[in-house]
Amino acid sequence: MATSRQYPDDIFVEGKFETDDEVLEVTDLADGGTFATVGAAGPDEAREAIDAAYRAQRAMRETTLVQRAEWLETIADEIESRKEELADIIVREAGKPISSARGEVDSAVERFRRAVEEVHDLQGEFLEGTTAGHEGWKAIVKPQPVGTVLCLTPYNYPLATTALQVAPAIAGGNSVVLKPATKTPVSAAVLADCIEEADLPDGGFNYVAGRASAIGDVLSGDDRIDAIAMTGSSAAGKHVARESGMVNLHMELGGNAPAIVFEDADLTDAVGQCAKGSFKYAGQRCSAVSRVLAHEGVHDEMVDMLDTEMDNWEAGDLFDEKTTLGPLISEDQADYVEELVEDAVDKGADLVRGGDRDGQFFEPTLLANVPHDARLIHEEQFGPVAVVTKFEDEAEALDIANAGDMGLDASVFTKDYDRAMDLAERIEAGAVRINGAPSHGLGDIPFGGVKDSGIGREGLGYSIEEFVTTKSIVL
């Protein structure tokens, strides 16, 4: 059994950690038991964090771009110096294999470093009037901070996604209130410790862990919050939007990505990419391949090849570099995935492989000939399940791909450039990858969804644009 550890605990408000009587016990997904305890903020502490951020707005606004760049560089250095500690935390609190956990820390470091480069694009521009009656007008157009940014982060990438929200918010000169996912607050607590070393103005960055039921509405409903960055489910995003009122909303929400595989595709490549898209981090990714749409001419071959490819996805010790699959975040999530699989089988799908679970671990599963009315075709599953359904022609593939309320990512596998580009234009998704599984990378390319999959676009420079407003000073 794991031994409970004490990390930078409690809440971080106005430049210091404060003791809190309530605690969150974080389960160790690597070997059971309680991994760590962190302070659990209540409504009073949540308001205290917003108070501090509001008071710090002026100090943050008046910092130079050079100062912000120095802060971001220092934070990156601090995270990098604690790489192994943070990787260990991510393995335990998120159940992520060690190789993936180390990659996540590297991603967080790189996102803070790249935000340094983006800071220099906030210098503004000089314009001259060109229309009749405005000859001789001159204007300085400057990006300015929106004020206070509330960051609501998910459990599946507890450090990397937090970096993608916090780094642009600081780069834009905003004060920040961070509330991490209840199940994965430890990496955020260590990040707060790293940010403390950068010596931002007191209240420039604040961290409050706590149950969403206790502080979620207190944070999102406070009228001193000027922007909300959130990664989470579509249902949670809609709730936050209802509570928040007229603020900048920057949300990456649920996904149900289709991967359309045509008869002319390189099947070996398509199978490898679809397996990776379905099973990486046990499918607990908004960009996961949720359904493989295979042309009827290659459906059976695709299923056979996926079955063989699944031999490369095995569970094991999360600290073993060879392990590729870990547990789901909770028994409730495992229950949900089990329900979805049973629903598909009851409606006629073929269970080719897997389907069993042991507590929070769900066996990698392959379903073929999945009917279009199965819940797996329309809902975000967040589990290690490859779902293969067939289509007859492009029109049917497009109809299936666009069915439902989500539109975050999609993939198209074909050697026909014109077909690929035509479908990419017509698929209702924020991003379409040709001959590859969806992947958001570090944020060089914007990503975000349509329909119920989100508002705005993430990515370092793109996120900064969400956290600044434009002021024109006209001479």
Catalytic residues: 252, 286
Q: Is 391 helix (H, G, I), strand (E, B) or coil?
A: strand
274, 292 contact by CB (below 8 A): yes
| φ/ψ (deg, to 5) at 194 | -65, -40
**CA–CA separation, 39 vs 10, rounded Å?**
3
Closest CA to 338 of 352, 354, 323, 314: 354
Output phi, psi for 462, to 5 deg. -70, -40
Task: Supply 377's token pair.
Answer: 């075709």
Q: How many angstroms separate the CA atoms of 410 and 414, rounded?
A: 13
Q: What is the largest CA-CA distance in the chain?
A: 77
Handedness of CA 199, 205, 206, 207 (dihedral sign): negative
Q: Provide the β-strand partners of residue 386.
A: 366
Kindly tell me the burial class for residue 174, based on how many C-beta atoms sit within 10 Å of its own C-beta (0-12, 13-18, 19 or more). Answer: buried
The β-bridge partners of 409 are: 431
For residue 271, count other CB atoms closer than 10 A to its CB. Answer: 25
Question: Measured between alpha carbons, how far is 166 from 274 in angstroms, rounded to an integer?
Answer: 31
133 pairs with which residues across the strands? none
Beta strands in 194-247 (DSSP E): 205-207, 227-231
Q: Are 345 and 351 in contact (CB under 8 A)?
A: yes
Distance, in Å, from the CA atom of 457 to the CA atom of 103, rounded to the nearest integer, reads: 23
Cα(178)–Cα(187) distance, rounded to whole angstroms? 12
Both structure tokens of 211: 């149950």
Indicate the Cα dihedral angle 398, 413, 372, 308, nearest 10°.
Answer: 180
In whole angstroms, give the CA distance from residue 66 to residue 327.
43
Amino acid at 172: G
Answer positive or negative: Cα dihedral of 326, 319, 88, 2. Answer: positive
Q: Give the separation between CA 166 and CA 152, rounded to whole angstroms.
A: 10
Residue 165 makes CB contacts below 8 A (sequence gap 6+) with 149, 151, 153, 178, 229, 231, 463
Measured at the CA of 348, the angle between CA 343 and CA 352, to 5 degrees, comes to 90
